[in-house]
Every structure is written in C-alpha cells, then in structure tokens.
Homo-oligomer: A and B are copies of this chain.
Amino acid sequence: MSLLAQPQSMLFETPLALSSGASIGGYRLAYETYGQLNAAKSNAVLICHALNASHHVAGVYAGQEHSQGWWDNMVGPGKPVDTDRFFVIGVNNLGSCFGSTGPKDLNPATGHAWGAAFPVVTVEDWVAAQARLLDALGIEQLAAVMGGSLGGMQALSWTLQFSQCVRHAVAIASAPNLSAENIAFNEVARRAIVTDPDFHGGDFYAHGVLPRRGLRIARMIGHITYLSDDVMNEKFGRELRNAVAGGDGYRYTTQDIEFQIESYLRHQGDKFSEYFDANTYLLITRALDYFDPARAFGGDLTAALARAQAHFLLVSFTTDWRFAPARSREIVKALLENRRHVSYAEIDAPHGHDAFLLDDARYLAAVRTYFNRIAQEVGA
C-alpha cells in the first residue's frame, strides 16, 4: 500500500538573514512528513532536494495514483529510509516554485511578483530555513540529514552549520563545490533563460508569458549532464526516430528531429518549460555555484570540515561525470583527516548522475544497511 502524502505549509514571520546580507521575512515553507515522530524525538530524518525536486519526497496524493514523490523508491514503509521507523521530513527550499516562497510570489514591498528581485539564496540559507522549520516541529536533533546532488551539499552544510543537531549525514552523488565545468554548464543554462525575450528581465509574470525557449535549452543541457555517455548510447545510440524507407534512412534535415536522442531531449525540455519557474532556475543554479565550504578556509576542505561532528555515509556512482566519484572522495578524505566516522560506497552503475534517483540494488542496500544502524542507535 502506498503512503499517502499530505502537503503542509508553515509561515515564518521573523526575517531570515541571508548569506548575501539581505533578509527575507513573511516567507512560507512547504513541507511533508511521513511516519511518526517517536516520544524521544530521536527518529527524525530530513531529506533535502536537488535542483528541480520538492518537499514531495515520497508517497502519493489522495486520488492521484501517479503522483509518487521524487524519492519514493528510497523513502516509505519498509524502504531503505523506512517510514515505519523514522519520521521523515521533506522541505521545499526557499526560492523554489513548488509551494515555498519564491520569485513567482508577491513581493509585499511592491505588490508585484518578486521576479529577479527575489534575494539570492545559498545552501547555507536553505539549511538555516530548514532549521527553523525543525525548531517549529520540536525537533532538536536529526537522526539523519540526507540528500543527493545539491541535496547532498545541504546535508554536508547541516553538519557544519548545526554540528550538534545532526547525528548522521548521508550525501549521495555530491561534491564539496562545483568545478569550473559545472559552473560553465549552469552559466550557459542561465544565459539561455536570461536572453530569452520572454524573460523580460525576470518580470515575465506581468507579461503573461513564460521564457519557454530558455527553459527548454536549460533543461536539455541539464539532461545531458545527468546521463552518462554509456547509458545514452545504450538507450538512444544513433537510432533514428522515423527513418525513411530505403537508402541510409536519413531524412536530411537540420531543424526536424532525426535521431531519437533529439526527440527525448526536446520532450524533456518542453515538459520542464511548462512547470518550472525561470527565476527559480537562476537561483538554484547559483546556490550550486556558490556552495564552497572550503572557501572561508583558503580552499582547505579538511579545515572546513573540522567542525562536523556527524557520522557520514557518502555514495557516488562510477559513471557520474557531473559529480564524479573523485569529488565525493575529496569529502571522504577531508573527513578522515579529521578522524570522523565515514562510510563510503562507490557504486559501479551505468546511469551517470541520475543513478542517485534510480533502483540500483547495491545502492539501495547500502543506504538500507546504514539506516538500520541509525535505527538501532536512536531506538527507532
């Protein structure tokens, strides 16, 4: 039986000071919880989302059988993060577009949508906002904080910003910062959005249009970096979508779809451009760019992670070229140099960065084993 999910929302009146120096008050966070908080309040697990996901981590909404949460294979009754034992919380990050306050909402100072004027938010800001939500829920310490990709960065940041409040951190397919190439891909996506005439400097809401062209390009670029070259070749290869009979099958066209991979990418881009907020895309990719805990320590990650007290599980995937195993190993090394407890699994999976969302048996087993240990430790 599927878990029934119920979106909730909490309003925070007290302004939150942001990394940029700005602050934001009167904001809402959308969240969901699954399972029961135990009497000792020791079994809470916070799940942090990546670029285009939300608080809807697991389960389905009543009457919507295809509304599975984005990590429904990981979180739920009897699943690796077992909601029969843990109280699991998903939060939509500030600046996102799925229920928490973001650029498409009204800026109380102007009465118009925030648009590009929404304050720049960082991983650290998100973690600070999540901590306020946990306060409000009466949770003083997390059994674990967990996330993949950008979510893993939040998990890591939790252990630095609130080191006493986190027993375990699980960071999957993550990195201690973005490489120049990572930033470059983000920048191309942002330029595609910002230079779309329908972006209107971020005020497209008032014009009744969406910068679909830019969002499509951004999503297509993203998808290429989520998949491995191998899995793309296996799934699509050089297969034609609609080969002409006879001869070499080519239609000889520069603008129409010829190869299946083109059809797939265009479809992904079209879907995304209808539901994702363009200003949110800018904000979230910038949060990725800015994350760099070693920065304040002259680039010394070991020094940066000295504050962390949590125990860690890190997982990476061999074919992930967006956040390659070497990036996870940097974190492992820095934690070990601080004599922290670290488990690390490097999973030989073909799917690239996307693997963190997929059903790889070894991966799910590694997480399950780790959470069994946490459950014993916290009495869940």
Contact = CB atoms under 8 A, between A and B. Distances in A.
Interface of A: 19-22, 116, 120, 177-181, 183-185, 187-188, 190-192, 194-197, 213, 216-217, 220-221, 223-224, 227, 229, 232-233, 235-238, 248, 250, 252-255, 258-259, 261-262, 265-266, 269, 279, 282-283, 285-286, 289-290, 292, 295-296, 321
A262 B187 contact: yes
> Which 4 pairs across A and B sit closest by C-beta, in order of nearness?
A20-B252, A180-B232, A254-B282, A120-B252
A279 to B, nearest CB: 8
Interface of A is mostly: helix
Contacts of A120: 252-254
Copies of this chain, whole number: 2
Contact of A290 (B190, B213, B236, B250): B250
Contact of A181 (B232, B258, B285): B232
Nearest to A201: B255
A241 B254 CA distance: 37
A112 to B, nearest CB: 18
A254 B237 CA distance: 36
Given A181-B229, A238-B180, A261-B180, A188 B224 contact: yes
A99 to B, nearest CB: 21
Contacts of A295: 238, 248
Contacts of A191: 216-217, 220, 266, 269
A265 B184 contact: yes
B259 A289 contact: yes
Nearest to A248: B295
Contact of A187 (B19, B196, B248, B265): B265
Contacts of A195: 213, 216-217
A259 B217 contact: no
A184 B289 contact: no
A327 to B, nearest CB: 11
B217 A254 contact: no
A248 B178 contact: no
A185 to B, nearest CB: 6
A316 to B, nearest CB: 16
B217 A217 contact: yes
Given A185-B224, A238-B177, A190 B254 contact: yes
A125 to B, nearest CB: 11
A229 B179 contact: yes
Contact of A220 (B188, B237, B292, B321): B188
Nearest to A223: B184
A299 B42 CA distance: 59
Nearest to A178: B238
A229 B175 CA distance: 15
